[in-house]
Structure 1
Amino acid sequence: MLINVVEDNLNLNRMIKTYLEAEGYRVQSFLNGKEAIENIFEEVELWVMDIMIPDINGFTIFKKVKELTPNSKVIFISARNQDIDRVIGLEMGCDDYIPKPFMIRELVIKVNNLLKKPKEIQNNIIKCGEYTIDKDKHKVYINDSQLEISSKEYDLLLYFMENKFRAVSREQVLDSVWGINYFGSARVVDNTLRRLRNKMTKLKIQTIYGYGYRFEGVND
């Protein structure tokens, strides 16, 4: 898998490249936005980009990446005190965000979570802790016992499991699970999620205040 790194700090750029290559990824690194934009192509699986690039900021690069290669994933990095950057990045649809300063290993974990397909997803069977989704039978189990959940609860659970570790907005969930032609209240997401949490108490779904959610697996 090929990763493009856009970071104008030379030392940090080199460290990120070194750590990611040690994980087995191919890495191209750029110190400015112009070179980065010239290297947007479908083969790039993931972009790790600083927002505050002197010549072309990360938001502009992001828009170009999504225009030309909409399936490429993006992790934004930015200064810790720039909370507004985090909110804007998530609203634009980035897959994750990490504030500076950070441990490079933390970034590596986020990259692995996005790019390495979970081993628990095989042959239309999704396993997560003691929970199992059988996509062919449209059923959910805890250990060997079937859980009684509604059709929309099932659809919501499946959406979260197939987007594990990804920050998703309430609007993204609504469009994906209820459809773009749904005109009811967006609160239906919160209400359905609340019922799902009551039935599957070990689900670890983080609420991102003012944005949406991130599914992180199950509690031990």
Structure 2
Amino acid sequence: MSADIEADVESSTPIWAAFGDLMSVLLGVFVLILVGVIGAQMQLSHRLDEEVRQRQIEAQRRKALEQALAVPLAEGRVTLVDGRIGIRGSVLFALNSDQLQPEGQALLKSLAGPLADYLRARDEILMVSGFTDDRQVRDGNRQFVDNWDLSANRALTVTRTLIVEGVPASSVFAAAFGSEQPVSSNGSEEGRARNRRVEIAPMPRPKAAAASTTDDTHGR
């Protein structure tokens, strides 16, 4: 009888050992899956946090710009859409001219100080863009070849004026778009007037330019 019991115990021992090994393997697999899930959740959480941080930075940038432009915005002399400062061409220039009108000169002078402070605080640069309507420059005006030429000269005029009024020359540049990228239909005078505009858009300073500026400063 005793021999039979010992035989049963010996025969059942490998089964429990195999079952234990199987449970260990299953536990290891479960742990690996759990670690993978936790890792994926952490990556997703990090991405979401980074996206929220970027949105907060952008919101702060726009709020700072709105504060810098509070007075001219309240007076309706400028617009601010998606971080771009828009100024109607009629405020700055007479038709088919790149010479600043007194109102435009005064407006740019009032913007230069806040913009310079904003740039210093944010380490950004300004792109000054000139735009026209789709009508060609009058034949009697030999000063400009076409709308590209007119928009380029207007952008340069605004850029130079901002520099004279205190915006660092290294933090502003001009761009011309002619009649491209209209904001309204050119089928009416009101629409064409809206398309004749200058936009001032802050943007991140290119890293290469920032590094070059740092090297020049150290070299001096």
- TM, length-normalised to structure 2: 0.23
| Higher normalized helix content (fraction of residues) | 2
Structure number with greater Rg is 2
- TM, length-normalised to structure 1: 0.23
Which has the bigger relative contact order, CA under 8 A and spacing at least 6?
A: 2
